[in-house]
A and B are shown apart, each in its own frame.
Chain A
Amino acid sequence: MTFAAPASAPTSATAAAPVSATPGVWPRLDRVLMSAGAWMLGLLWIAPLLYAAWTAFHPSAYETRFDLLAPLSLENFPLAWKQAPFARYFLNTVILVTSILSVQLVVGTLAAFAFARLRFAGRGILFGLVLVQMMVMPDILLVENYRTMRMLGLVDTIAAIGLPYMASGFGIFLLRQTFMTIPRELDEAARIEGVSLLGLIWRVYVPLAKPTYLAFGLVSVSAHWNDFIWPLIVTNSVSSRPLTVGLSIFASPDSGVQWSVINAATLMTSAPLLIGFLLFQRQFVQSFMRAGIK
C-alpha cells in the first residue's frame, strides 16, 4: 500500500499529496502491527518446540546454554528409547487411535446418513442428544466413565481408553451436514439403478464426503494421540499405557532423567503426527476448507 491511499483522501489531485500523507500512514502501521503480532504469537507458540529440538539434538551440557557452535549430537534418542518401553507405548497409541477412528467412521457414517436422509420417529430428539454430546466437556465425565469401565471389567485396557470416544457427536454432526449438501438427484439416480441402502452410502455418500472424512480423521487422530488425563486415570500398566502417559512417567521429576533425553523422547513421540501433517499439509488444509472446519 502506498501513501496515496485513495479511499481516505477524496481531495483534488494537486492539493492531495501533502494532505493525504497523514491518513495514508494508518493502514500501513496497521499492517505492520498486525504482522508483528502474528509473528509474536507464532514464535510464542513454537518456542517450546524449538527448545525441545535444541536440547534433543545437543549434549546435555547445552540444556540451558545457547551456543550456535554447540556440537550436534544424536545420542539422546537411543538413550531415551532404551530407558522406557517406548516401542510398546507406540504400539498402544497406534492401536488406540486407529481403533477409535475406525469405529468413529463406521458409527458416524451410519448415524449421519440416518439423520440426513432417513425419516424415523424421534429423529429430532436423537439428533438433539448428539448435539448435547458436543456441548459436554469430556473431563466432566471422568469419574462416571471410570465407574462404567470398572463395571465392564475393562480398567487398564486399551479398549477402556477408546470406548468413551467411539461414538463421536462431532463426527456425526459434521458428516450429517456434508451428506445433506449432496444433491438428492444423485441419490435417486443410484436408487433407480437398484442400489441397496448400504450400497448407496458406500458408493455415493462416502466418496462425495471424502474431504470431510480426511478433516475429521486428522482432528480425531491428533486429539486421541495427544489425550492425556483419561488414559492416565484408566491405565496403570505398560501393556495398555499410551505414549502420552508413558512419556509423563518417564519425565516425572523423581525419575532423574536429563532434560535433553526427555526432550528427545518428546520429539520422538510427536514426530509421527508432525511428519504426517507436513506430508499431507496441502490435502488437509483443502479438506478443512471444504469441510468448513477452521
Chain B
Amino acid sequence: MADLTLDGVRKSFGETPVLQALDLAVPDGGFCVVVGPSGCGKSTLLRLVAGLETADAGRILIGGRDVTRLPPKARSAAMVFQNYALLPHLSVARNIAFGMEIRGTPRADIAARVADTARILRLEAQLDRKPRQLSGGQRQRVAMGRAIVRDPQVFLFDEPLSNLDAQLRAEMRAEIKALHARLGATALYVTHDQIEAMTMGDILVVLNGGRVEQIGPPEEIYRRPASTFVARFIGAPPMNLIPSTTAGSLAAGAPARGETLGIRPEHLKLAPGAGVEATARRIEPHGADTFIQATTAEGVDLTIRLPAGNGVRAGDQLPLLAPPAHLHHFGADGRRIA
C-alpha cells in the first residue's frame, strides 16, 4: 500500500551538506518520529518528502512509486506545519476546503467532506470563524483537517505541537495518535520533544548533523542507545556518561570495556558500604521523583533519580553503585560496544 522509503537521500544547500545519504523505511500505516537537535535537518527531510525541496541524490518512494522528481501535488503527501499555515482571510471551512477548491471538487462533495472532517476534529462550531478567532489548539486541528480531507497516503508533521502549552500538548498527542489509528495512513512526525518522541512513534529516528544515529522502536533506543549522542539525547534527565578511567569503584564487579561508561539516573543505587562516595550538591524535586546532582571524589558529576521522600539533603555523602546489568559501554568513537 503506502509505505515510505528513503534510499540514500542527500541534500545540501550550497556548500553545506544538510542530509547525508539518508536511508529510512516506514511500513504502511507506521508512525515514524524523527528527533534531533535544532538544525540537524529534520524539516529538510520532511520538505524533501513533501516535494518542497528536491533531493540532490537518492530516491524517495511512496507506496513503491518513485516520487523523487514529482511536484508536491503529485505525491499524495499532506503536511501539517509548525505555525499552522492557515490562510488568515479564509474561514475555517474554506481553509479546510482550500485544496479541494483548487482541484475543482464538486461543491456538494466539498461541503460533505468539510462537515465530516469538522465532526472528526470537533470543529463544527468554529466552521465560520477566521483563524485569528481560534485558540492555538483549534488552529492546530484546522491544520490537521486540511491535511486529512485530502485523504493522503503519507502525513507529514513538522513540530506541530511546539506552539502549544504543556497540557494542550498532552491532549493533542493523544488526539493525533487516535486519528492516526483511525485513518491508518503512514506518518512521518518531526519533533524535538522527548515525550512526543518516546510516546508517539512505532519507529524512532535519531538524527544528528544530517546523519541517522539510530533507528528503532522507542523502548529499544532507550534501552540500548547506539551511541553516546543517542544516550544523552533520549531520556530525561540524560544518561550519565563517565570516562572509564575515573569511574573508580562505581561499576565495581563489571568487566572494564570501552572508553566510556553509561548509566541512567534511575539505575544508580544507594549502596552503603559499596560503590563510590559522592557529595549531593543540588536536590531537584519533580513530584513523584527527585533528581539529585552529585559529585564523586574523582570529580565526576552524576545525576541520580530517586523516588520522592528519600530524605537526601544537599551536602550528604551518598554511596553510589551502578549495577552491571544497567551499564552501557561505548568505544572511543562514541559507538556502543556489544
Contact = CB atoms under 8 A, between A and B. Distances in A.
A30 B234 CA distance: 65
B51 A194 contact: no
B50 A192 contact: yes
A254 interface: no
A57 B85 CA distance: 57
A193 B73 contact: yes
A185 B89 contact: no
Smallest CB-CB A-B distances: 7 pairs: A194-B73, A193-B99, A189-B85, A185-B85, A207-B89, A192-B72, A185-B81
A195 B81 contact: no
Interface in B28-67: 47, 50-52
B88 A189 contact: no
B98 interface: yes
Given A208-B88, A208-B89, A194 B81 contact: no
Interface in A193-207: 193-195, 199, 203-204, 207
A189 B79 CA distance: 7
A114 interface: no
Interface of B: 47, 50-52, 72-73, 77-79, 81-83, 85, 87-89, 98-99, 102-103, 146, 150
A186 interface: yes
Interface residues of A, number: 17
10 contacts: A183-B85, A185-B81, A186-B87, A188-B52, A192-B52, A192-B73, A192-B77, A193-B99, A203-B87, A207-B89
Contacts of B87: 186, 190, 203-204, 207-208
A190 B103 CA distance: 12
Contacts of B99: 193-194
Contacts of A195: 102
Given A188-B81, A203-B102, 6 more contacts: A183-B83, A189-B85, A189-B146, A190-B98, A191-B52, A193-B102
Contacts of B89: 207-208, 210
A193 B104 CA distance: 12
